[in-house]
Amino acid sequence: MPVQKLLARELEGMEYRISKRKPMPVFEDYLVWWCKFARKYSLPCRHVFHLDSEVPSGVITAEKWREFISMFDECGFEVYESMGRVEVEERLVRPSERRVQTVLEMRELIEEMNQHMYDMLEVVDEENSGLKDDERQELLRTYMGLVRTSIRPAVISVPPVDMVGELRLEMRPWEL
């Protein structure tokens, strides 16, 4: 789903370009554009879509789409991990040490949750556990229910703006 959302934003950007009567972009034969989006994701950007909408026969052929789609065939978003580092110009906002620490702590918690889940799956799937398939499925449903009922109401279901407001007042929004 995230790729579709990225492309949808680029299509909206194309519509904006056309509504502002921006000139049609000029490309090399390979439809390479060097805007931030295209460099970051290696996907067609608003400029390519603009050109495609203006050229009667279109420029994004079925073969070109297959090239874009094939990047995700085997590994999904991991394709970006294997492509190497791409420098993307952005306005640099240096995060505070506390913000960096908070992000690192959250990543550690997420990794702990993932590891716990895999440990659960391993124990449930052990051949000598003596559990029937139905019992395994029920244990996993119960486990996921426990995770959902403890995390979602306490943290995820509270909108961030409410969470910040209540934390500033030293309230505990997860106890509401």
What does pLDDT average to over the chain? 77
pLDDT at 91: 57
Within 10 angstroms of residue 141's Cβ, the number of other Cβ atoms is 10
Q: Average pLDDT, stretch 130-135?
A: 83
Q: Torsion-angle region of residue 172: left (phi > 0), alpha (psi -120 to 50) or beta?
A: beta
Q: Tell me, what DSSP letter sits at residue 65?
A: H
Min mean pLDDT across 36-50, 84-98, 111-125 is at 84-98
pLDDT at 1: 45
Q: Is the pLDDT of residue 103 over 50?
A: yes
Q: Cα–Cα distances in Å, from 152 out to 2, 16, 23, 149?
A: 21, 37, 47, 6
Q: Cα–Cα distances in Å, from 16 out to 2, 11, 57?
A: 21, 9, 22
Q: Is the pLDDT of residue 82 over 50?
A: no
pLDDT at 3: 74
Min mean pLDDT across 13-17, 55-59, 73-77, 88-92 is at 88-92
pLDDT at 36: 77
Residues 6+ apart with CB under 8 A from 38: 32, 44, 45, 47, 48
pLDDT tens per residue, range 16-65: 989 988 888 776 656 666 677 877 777 888 888 888 888 888 888 888 88
The residue ranking higher by pLDDT, 28 or 143, is: 143
Q: What global pTM score does this model have?
A: 0.41
Whether the Cβ atoms of residue 52 and residue 79 lie closer than 8 Å to each other: no
